Amino acid sequence: MLDTILDKSVVGYTTLGYRLRPHPAINEDLTGRVALVTGATSGLGRATASGLARLGATVIVVGRNPEKTNRVVAEIREETGTDRVEPEIADLSSMRQIRALADRVQAPLHILVNNAGVLLSERTETDEGFETTFATNLLGHFLLTSLLIDKLEAPARIINVSSGGMYTQRLAVRDLQMKRGRYDGVIAYARTKRAQVVLTEHWASMLADRGIVVHSMHPGWADTPGVSDSLPRFYKITKPLLRTAEEGADTIVWLAASEEAGRSTGLFWHDRKPRPTHRSAKTRESAAERQALLDELTRLLPA
C-alpha cells in the first residue's frame, strides 16, 4: 500500500521515497562478468560503475574527457580495491566515435548500461548534423546497442536509464529532433526518455530467445551534476529532497545483478519494482508510431 502511494506521488522520487522502501544489500557475485557503462564519470553512471565493480565485475567506464575518465577510473579502483576497471573514451553524441568504441570493445560483454544523457537549454546540432539531445540520449545508444548485441554473451543484460519525466510526453516521430517551433530542452529530454522505453520493449522482444534481458528504469530525483547544471532552479528548490547518486543508481545495479531482475524482460522499473510506462492515455503510442521510431532511427544510421 505504501509503495503504491509513493509511486503515485512525487514523494516517491525523493530520498524520502527511497528510504521508505526496502533496499536489501545486493550481494550477488559478478566475478567474470564484463560491464560497460556510458556516462560513467559522474552522477548515476559513476555510482553504477563503482557498484558493479564492488560486486566483482570488470567495468568499462565510458567518458568523453580522457583526463577526467582516467581520474575516475583510478578513484573507483581505489574505492573498490580492484584493478578491473578500465577507461574508454567516446562522446555518445558522435556516431563516428560510437562506431570506433564498439570496434574496440572485445567480446564477451555481459552487462550494458545506457546511461549517458544531456538536457540542454538551447537547440544545438552535432558536427554530424543531429540535434544534440536526440543524438546523445537516443540515437547514440540505439547505435551502440545495435553494434554490441552480437558481443553480448548470455545470460546478458541491457539497462536503459530513462527518467520519470518521460511520463509527460508521447512519441513525436514526426519531429524527433525538434526542428519545428520553439525548442524546449525539458521536453526534448523527456521525449528521448519516452523513446528509450519503447526501444527497451522492442529489444526485449527481439532478444528474448538469445538469453538477453532488457530493462529500463528511472532513478527518481538524484543530486547529480546533470541536474544541478541543467536545472539550476529545480536543483536549488529540491536539493534537500534529492537522492544521492548511489540511491539513484541502486536500481541500475540491482537490475544488472539480481536473479529476480533476470526472470523478466522489457519492464520499466523504479526502486526495484516494475512500474507502469504510462500515467495518461494521452502519452500512449500506437504500434505504427513505435515502428516509425525504429524505421527513422535505422534510416539515420546507414550501415
Cα–chain center distance at 303: 24
Residue 235 is a catalytic residue: no
Q: Beginning with the edge strand found earlier in the chain, give each strand of the sheet holding 85-89 in spatial order.
A: 85-89, 58-63, 34-37, 109-114, 152-161, 212-217, 268-270, 273-275
3-class secondary structure, 188 = helix
What letters, b where the CB count within 10 A reaches 16 and e where it falls short, cover 127-143? Answer: eeebbbbbbbbbbbbbb
Q: For residues 56 and 28, what is the distance between their CA atoms, to the nearest angstrom?
A: 9
Q: For residues 93 and 130, what is the distance between their CA atoms, to the nearest angstrom?
A: 8
Q: What pTM value is reported for the model?
A: 0.97
Spell out the alpha helix ranges (H) of the chain: 2-7, 15-20, 43-54, 66-80, 95-104, 132-134, 140-148, 185-207, 225-230, 232-238, 245-257, 287-300
Q: Which residue type sits at 234?
A: F
Q: Quick one: cell of 294?
A: 525504429
Q: For residues 259 and 205, what is the distance between their CA atoms, to the nearest angstrom?
A: 19
pLDDT of residue 302: 79
CATH architecture of 31-300: 3-Layer(aba) Sandwich (3.40)
Q: Which residue type sits at 218?
A: H
Query: CA-CA distances (angstroms) from residue 193 to 83, 99, 110, 257, 288?
Result: 33, 22, 23, 23, 19
What is the DSSP code string of 24-55?
A: -------TT-EEEESSTTSHHHHHHHHHHHHT
Query: What does the pLDDT profile of the chain (303 residues) look like in tens digits?
Result: 899 888 988 999 999 999 999 999 999 999 999 999 999 999 999 999 999 999 999 999 999 999 999 999 999 999 999 999 999 999 999 999 999 999 999 999 999 999 999 999 999 999 999 999 999 999 999 999 999 999 999 999 999 999 999 999 999 999 999 999 899 999 999 999 999 999 999 999 999 999 999 999 999 999 999 898 889 999 999 999 999 999 999 999 999 999 999 999 999 999 999 999 999 999 999 999 999 999 999 999 976
Q: Quick one: cell of 181?
A: 517551433
What is the DSSP code string of 129-152?
A: S-BHHHIIIIIHHHHHHHHHGGGE
Catalytic residue among 13, 167, 189, 235: 189
DSSP 100: H
DSSP 279: S
